[in-house]
Structure 1
Amino acid sequence: MEEKKQIILENVGKLYLKHGIKSITMDDVAQEFGISKKTLYQFFKDKESLVEEVINYYMENPHFNLNDENNGNPIDRIFALRIHLASILRVYNNNLEFDLKKQYPALYKKLHDFKRKKILNDNILNIEDGKKQGLFRKDIDTEFISKLNVGRMLLTMNPDHNIFDESELASIEIFDKTIDYHLHGICTEKGLKYYKEQLNSLQNEKQN
């Protein structure tokens, strides 16, 4: 039963990303998975509990871990995160954030607080690890740069502020340009050389 529930959570999350929350009913979910509403309610008592568990599931998703050493050095990990974000942006719909903020404000705040803390902690660990490996400059203020990244990600990427339009927010190019700006500011000569090698490799893959 737990495996079935996990499959539901993962795939309902994809539905929310694509269509938003408001338009997806419990009937839609039951139909999507070929189960009765009675069976669905054995897993989730109502739509709000489903939304909450989907949010929790994605907050614990290891794909968003910037410091998974299995993904290589700190620069490699940024590229690994990029691959996962690109797959999300292909289907992402801003209605998800709007619906969450309007219908489930407590969950919206929980998600916002989680993103703020996670981006900060991940950046601190990533930068410190990069310093140890000689990829990032030792003279930069890790906490300051990390907080700057939190502000940049949460403010400029928030559709409420109208800094970027919807088409720009749905493009991986924003992430690419942000990372390029970020790494050019913190990399050592060794780090910049490695970053450019990885960037060239990525661009060659796109062309093939």
Structure 2
Amino acid sequence: MKNKILDAVAQLIEQYGLKKFTVDELAAELHISKKTLYQYFSGKDEMIREYFEKTLESDRQNVLDTVGSDRSFPDKIHAIVHSSHRYRLPVRIMDEAKQFYPDEWAKVKDLKQFKLDEFQKLLKQASDEGILRPDVHFGILSAMLERVSDLFLDTDFLLENGMKATQAIDEVLNIIIGGIVKKDEGTPWKH
């Protein structure tokens, strides 16, 4: 029953956000009493905490499974960036999490750092295996990745550019991996 409740919580969060969904709506959605809900959760805040915990933990596990797999380098990068998780974590709720649920926001930031660390390990491994160009400066690449990853949580940026977070992520990967200069143009400042 607890998982069924969390599934409904995830749907209501997706529909209304963190603050606007109510326990009354949740009970009505599940066709149970609020008293029954309180047998499993002490209140809405605990439901939200568990929603974040399940979502972020499943995302983290997916990343670990991906890194340990025998997938190709590009597939691993794509899977880390687009790792699946138990519930969808809409970008638009990040502002609410930051403002009203600082502990959960800290967990989101921890997951972001974990993914950046795994991404950097993967890049180092790819470099050691000769998959990447040897002249790539990892300090600069790491700084770029860290700073640009904040854009994926910036609702204003995404709205201004008419993008979903996944589209922004794909564009960044395309630029980093593919570059911005046409292959036949070269890099004139290299000696």
Q: Which aligned pairs between 1:5-20 and structure 2 lie closer than 5 A?
A: 5-20=2-17
> Which amino acid is the alignment partner of residue 82 of structure 2?
R
Say which of 159, 165, 176 aligns to 1:165.
159
Aligned to 2:26: 29
- Over aligned residue pairs, what C-alpha RMSD do you find? 3.1
Identical-residue share of aligned pairs (%): 22
CA distance in 2, matches of 1:116, 1:83: 12
Q: Which aligned pairs between 1:50-199 and structure 2 lie closer than 5 A?
A: 50-62=47-59, 65=63, 67-70=66-69, 72-80=71-79, 81-82=81-82, 84=84, 88=88, 92=90, 94=92, 96-108=93-105, 110-154=106-150, 156-159=151-154, 162-165=156-159, 168-170=162-164, 172-184=166-178
CA distance in 1, matches of 2:163, 2:139: 26
Contact 2:23 2:34 (8 Å CA) reproduced: yes
TM-score normalised per structure 1: 0.68
Aligned to 2:188: none
1:66-120 per-residue CA deviation (whole Å, 9 max, x = no partner) reads 74333712311233343849x958xx361x1222223223332x13431342232
Comparing both structures, which one devotes a greater share of its residues to helix? 1
Report which stretch shifted further, 138-147 or 117-126: 138-147
Distance 1:14 1:147, change over 3 A: farther
Aligned to 1:48: 45
Structure 1 residue runs of 4 or more that deviate by more than 6 Å after TM superposition = none
Report which stretch shifted further, 27-36 or 48-57: 27-36
Contact 1:52 1:107 (8 Å CA) reproduced: yes
Q: Radius of gyration: which is bigger?
A: 2
Give structure 2 stretches of 5+ with no counterpart: 180-191
TM-score normalised per structure 2: 0.73
> Which amino acid is the alignment partner of residue 152 of structure 2?
M
Q: Considering Cα pairs closer than 8 Å and 6+ residues apart, tell me whether 1 or 2 has the greater RCO.
A: 1
User: Offset at 1:144?
Assistant: 4.1
Distance 1:46 1:179, change over 3 A: same
